Chains A and B, each alone.
Chain A
Amino acid sequence: MLQDESLDDFLDAFLGEKGHQKPEKKRWPTPAIPINTDNLAAVAMVHKDMKEPIAKKKLSKRTWVAIVMILVIIPLTIWFGIRFMGDRKYYFISMGIIVYTFVPFLMVFEGRKPQARELIIIAILAAIGVAGRAAFFMLPQFKPVVAVVIIAGVCFGAESGFLVGAMVGFVSNFFFGQGPWTPWQMFSFGIIGFLAGILFRKGLLKSSKPQLCVYGFLATFFIYGGIMNMSSLLMWSSIITWKSVLAVYITGAPFDLIHASATVFFLFVASKPMIEKLERIKKKYGLIER
C-alpha cells in the first residue's frame, strides 16, 4: 500500500511540475513523460531502492533527461526534419521520436543496477518469445510473441513487459533480418507489454483467461497493427492523405486479424499454465516480495 501511495505522490508532484511543458510534444503525445513516471511502478516492485528517487532528490537525472528531450531534442528533430528532410520529414520525425522513447526505459533499467535474477528472467521470457516466433515462422503473422509479452507484463510488471517485448523484437530480427521496421516492432511489442503491466497493476486487467484474450486481441489488432501499418506507410510514401492511411489500414487488416487471432489462441492455450509456472518460480525463489 505504501508503495502505491508514495508512487501516487510522486506522480502528482511530477506531473504538476511539468504540466505546462506538455504542449511541447506535438505528434506523439503519450511516450516520454507517462512512460517515464509510470515506470516507477515497475521500479517500485523491486522494492530495494524505490523510495530514494521519489523522496530525496527533487529532480533526478532521468527527469532532467526527459526535460531536455521534450524541450530540446524533440523540437530540434521536428525542426530539422521540416527544414532539411523535405519529403521524408514524417518518417524522419516519427522514427526519431520512437527511438527517443527507448531512452527513459534504458536509463531507468540501467540506472538501478538490476540483479542477476531479474536479468535472467527477462532473458528467458524473451528467449521463449523468440523461439516461439521461430517455431511458427512458416505461418505468416501467426506468432506467439504478443502472448508471451502480455504474460511477462502481467507477471513481472510493466517495465519487464516493455523490455521483454523490445528484446524479442530486436533479437528475433537477428534470425529474420533487421530492417527499418525493427524499431517500430520493438516499440509496438514493448508498449503492449508495458500497458499489460500497468493495467494489471491498476486492477483493470485480471489474469483470467477471457480478459487476457480480449486484451490480447485488442492490443494486437489496434496497437501492433495500428503502429506497424502506419510505419509501413511512412516508410513507403511521404504524401500522407486520409485516403492512403485508410488504404494501408484496410490492406493490413487481414494480417492484423491473423496476428490477433494467433495471440488469442496462444493466450487461451498457454496463459494459465504459463502464469502458474511463473508465479510458482516467483514464490519458490522469492523473486518479488510484495
Chain B
Amino acid sequence: MEDSFSTYHPIINFFYFSVILIISMFFNHPMILGISLISAILYAVVLQGWKKALKFNLLFMLPMLIIVALINPLFNHSGVTILFYLDNGNPITLESIIYGLVMSVMLIQVIIWFSCYNIIMTSDKFIYLFGRIIPALSLIFSMVLRFVPKFKAQLKVISNGQKCIGRDITNGNILMRARHGVTILSIMVTWALENAIETADSMKARGYGLKGRTAFSLYRFDNRDKGMFGVMLILLVIFIIGVSMGNTFVQYNPIIIINGIVPMSLSSFFTYFIFLVFCLIPVAVDGFSAMKWQKMKEVIPEKTKCAEIRVGIEAQ
C-alpha cells in the first residue's frame, strides 16, 4: 500500500519520528511501552505488509527479547521479592526479571520504529532538512551516497577492461586471481581520486560556494502540513502535562512502583490515550487516505466507460 504519511513535509516526518523515538527510548512505563510497541508493529505492518513485518518480528525480535530479558536477572540481583537462589548464592528476584522484560521490550520497539523511520525518512529528505543548517556536510553526505553506486559501475568497467587483457579475477590460479583483484581495486581507487578532483574543479567552475545561489527542492509546507504540525504539537503538550503530573512515573528497583494503572485515574488514562493517538497518526493518515480512495472509486460509474478518468486519477 502507498504510504501517505511519507507525502507530508519532511519536517513533519522528522518531527514525528524524533518525538516517538525519544519517548520510546527514555520512558519505561509499561503502558507507554505497550502502546508504543503495538503502534510500531502496526505501522511496520502497514509499511511492509503482513508477511515481511511478521517475519522480521518473529525471526529477529523475539529471540532478542528473550535473550535480553534473560540476561538482566543474571547480572542484576537487586529487588525485594526473591524467587530462588542460583548455585553461586546469588538471588533471582521478581523485580529483575520484570525489569529485564521491560528493557527488552524497549529495545525491540526502538528497533521496529527505526525500521519504519528507514522507510519514511529517505536520504533526500534528510539532505533537504539539513542542507541549510550544515550545507557542506550535507553535500558530502549526498556525494557519498552518489559515489557508492558510481564506484560499483566503474568497478565493472575496469573489471571488463582487465578481462580483455586476461587479468580479471576469473583468470589464472587462486594467487593470480587475488593479485588481479588487488590490481583492479588499485586502479579503482586511483580513478576515484582523479575523478573527484575533476568533479571538484567542475563544481568550482560552476560557482560552488558563491553568494546568491539557490537550491531546488520539491517540498512545500502547505496547509495540510500546518494542520498536522498543529495537531502534533497540541497532543505533545497535553502528553507533557500528563507526564509532569506524574502519570508515567515508574520504579522497578528495589520495589516495583507503577503510577497510574491501578487505580487508573482519569488524568492518567487521558495521558495514555493522547500518547496512543500520537503514535497512531501515520496509521490513521494512511487509513483515511485509503478510505478516501475507496469513496472516489465508488463515484466512478463504470470501469470500461471511464477508463481514461481512472488512468488520470491513478496517475495522481
Contacts and interface: CB of A to CB of B under 8 A. Distances in A.
B82 to A, nearest CB: 17
Q: Give the contact-size bracket for chain A.
A: 35 or more
Given A116-B203, A116-B209, A121-B196, A109 B137 contact: yes
A239 interface: yes
A61 to B, nearest CB: 15
B7 interface: no
Q: Give the contact-size bracket for chain B.
A: 35 or more
A174 B189 CA distance: 23
Contacts of B114: 177-180
Contacts of A121: 193, 196, 200
A269 B28 CA distance: 47
A237 B209 contact: no
Nearest to B243: A84
A126 B201 CA distance: 19
The majority secondary structure among interface residues of chain B is helix
A179 B186 CA distance: 33
Given A110-B137, A126-B144, A277 B190 contact: yes
Interface string B124-142: 0000000000111101110
A120 B199 contact: yes
A250 B188 CA distance: 39
Contacts of A236: 68, 71-72, 103-104, 107
Given A123-B143, A127-B143, A237-B103, A285 B197 contact: yes
A127 B200 contact: no
Interface string A94-121: 0000000000001001100111110111
A248 to B, nearest CB: 9
Contacts of B123: 174
Contact of A123 (B118, B147, B152): B147
The majority secondary structure among interface residues of chain A is helix
Contacts of B209: 113, 115-116
A115 B152 CA distance: 26
User: In this complex, which of B21, B134, B196, B201 has the most chain A Cβ atoms within 10 angstroms of its Cβ?
Assistant: B196
Interface stretch (A4-12, A18-26, A128-136): A128-136
A170 B121 CA distance: 14
Interface in B176-223: 182, 186, 189-190, 192-194, 196-197, 199-201, 203-204, 208-209
A255 B197 CA distance: 37
A201 interface: no
A69 B78 CA distance: 36
Interface stretch (B246-254, B282-290, B302-310): B246-254
A128 B189 contact: yes
Interface string B60-87: 0000000010011001101000000000
28 contacts: A86-B251, A87-B253, A91-B26, A109-B136, A109-B137, A110-B137, A119-B136, A119-B139, A120-B203, A121-B193, A122-B140, A123-B143, A123-B147, A124-B147, A127-B151, A128-B192, A130-B144, A131-B147, A134-B148, A167-B144, A174-B118, A177-B114, A178-B114, A237-B71, A237-B75, A239-B99, A277-B190, A281-B197
